Amino acid sequence: MTMSIDQLSGTNKRAAEILLANDRGGYTVPSAKLYPFQWNWDSALVALGFSVFDPDRAWQEVESLLSAQWDNGMVPHIIFWKEEKSYFPGPEQWGTKNIADTPPTSGITQPPVAATVIEHLLAEDINAHRDRAAKLLPKLDRWHQWFLDARDPEGRGVVANMHPWESGRDNLPDWDRPLSFIDTTGVGTYHRRDTDIVNKDERPKKDDYDHYMSLVKFGRDCNWDPQVIARDCPFWVAEPGMNAILRRAERDLITMARLLGHDDIATRATARLARLDAGFEALWSEAVGGYVTLDLRRNEHATALTSGSWLALFAGKVEKIRANKMAATLSRWLSSVKHGVPSFDPNHELFDSIRYWRGPVWAMINWMISTGLIEHGETELAERIRADTQALIDQSDYREYFCPVTGRGGGGTDFSWTASMSLYWSARPRGAGTPTDATIPMPNTLKPDTPKPDTTDQEAK
């Protein structure tokens, strides 16, 4: 059920106002000063918030994102629709102008949550939205295929990130070791802009940034050629967040393709999903007791869990013995901090409660974790995470992220995806659609592949 903006009140109204203030006409910036362009997974997740009070605008958001798709299928992580000198690294550093027949973009992608969002938008009212969804399915199909072709050419069933920014979780401690092998002598001098706007204790350190810029240089020097990148890029790292989101995206694409009669897409996505489901096993570490990052160049697992580890539950069914273990570890994490879910193990020496991705809580990761927990029958934990998210927003407003220890907000202000998730979550606590309206199927009807909580199987596979 769509509400008009006048029917929203309190924090929901303010969340909608933030989205409208960050709207640049067909796309939404994550935060006016810090991130003044269209970002890939931000944009997809922002569409959920718009869907509560303006479905047409929600569809425009995903349509504008997918309109920037490259010929090879990649959907870029930033789209520079307008010139804006205050951002670094901008179009010149990415050097993609001659590659794509789109506005200038970055040269990498981000987690493909768009298919899942589009499935949610479609579930709101299938008859009203089927034509718009049908037009986007071939684009999603090509993007998902690009992931396997460009980021898993060896067919291992896990896709790599060629840059920490590709994962969307830019500054995780997981990247420290893989980055340490990279020579940064060629990066030269540059002026970062993020630390002009945000306190430097909340942002990546200079040495991290040098590594990021050397990988941008590597991509630019090879003209973002996927074959050269897969063969030679010094950073080639798989992690559970990206891979889980891609698996979920394939499932949701299959559901939509079947529903809308795109059998060819459903067949291709089913084959891809089988490969990704099997490959995900490579991310399980018995030593750590969860799904962790894997440096594919060295075949080396990370030694700690991150918030992305729980996205395995969002991806699809996790066998009961593992799901129980993961829920128990998550409960332990939550008892070590005031608000969950921290982006990195709060009991690890590298945990940093306010520095970007090395400890803080993100609302949209919480929504995905909570959705996965509900699908595995862990409703209490899921509810704790939803309540924590709202408490953080009530305490510190719509910030980019939050300190799990004190609840203090960090990074950018009036942040779009924080506003969007809070609004969507409060309007749709049980997912897309309207439970009381029999004409609109609930997500579980629309999603034949949604895992049901398993109460019988006590054995590991």
207 neighbors 189 (Cβ within 8 angstroms): no
Shortest distance in whole angstroms from residue 172 CB to ligand GLC: 10
418 neighbors 283 (Cβ within 8 angstroms): no
Q: Which of 63, 149, 170, 208 is catalytic?
A: 170
Shortest distance in whole angstroms from residue 228 CB to ligand GLC: 25
The residues that touch ligand GLC, with contacts defined as CB under 6 A, are 30, 35, 39, 41-42, 168, 170
Question: What tokens were used for 14?
Answer: 């303010």
Nearer to ligand GLC, 121 or 172 (CB): 172
Strand, helix or coil for residue 401: strand
Say which amino acid occupies 202: E
Give Dmax (Cα) for the chain: 63
Nearer to ligand GLC, 255 or 343 (CB): 343
Shortest distance in whole angstroms from residue 47 CB to ligand GLC: 14
Exposure class string for 376-415: b at 16+ Cβ within 10 A, else e: bbbeebbebbbebbeebbeebbbbbbbbbbebbbbbbbbb
313 neighbors 373 (Cβ within 8 angstroms): yes
Question: What tokens were used for 413?
Answer: 């202000």
- Summarize the chain as % helix, strand, coil (round to 5): 55, 5, 40
Nearer to ligand GLC, 34 or 137 (CB): 34
Nearer to ligand GLC, 77 or 428 (CB): 77
Nearer to ligand GLC, 254 or 403 (CB): 403
Strand, helix or coil for residue 161: strand
Nearer to ligand GLC, 216 or 327 (CB): 216
Say which amino acid occupies 253: L
Shortest distance in whole angstroms from residue 269 CB to ligand GLC: 25
Shortest distance in whole angstroms from residue 148 CB to ligand GLC: 22
Q: Can you spell out the DSSP letters for 89-156?
A: S-HHHH--TTT-SSS-B-SS----THHHHHHHHHHH-HHHHHHHHHHHHHHHHHHHHHHHHHH-TT--
Residue 201 among the catalytic residues: no
Between CA 375 and CA 245, with CA 396 as vertex, the angle to 5 degrees is 30
Q: Which of 141, 152, 378, 400 is catalytic?
A: 400
Q: Can you spell out the DSSP letters for 214-233?
A: HHHHHHHHTTT-HHHHHHH-
Shortest distance in whole angstroms from residue 322 CB to ligand GLC: 27
Shortest distance in whole angstroms from residue 152 CB to ligand GLC: 21
Shortest distance in whole angstroms from residue 41 CB to ligand GLC: 6
Q: How many helices (H) and strands (E) does the chain have?
A: 18, 9
Nearer to ligand GLC, 28 or 285 (CB): 28
Nearer to ligand GLC, 35 or 50 (CB): 35
Distance of alpha carbon 197 from alpha carbon 199, whole angstroms? 7
Distance of alpha carbon 141 from alpha carbon 286, whole angstroms? 33
Phi and psi dihedrals of 401, rounded to 5? Answer: -160, 180
Neighbours of 349 (CB within 10 A): 8
Residue 400 among the catalytic residues: yes
* Enzyme catalytic residues: 170, 400
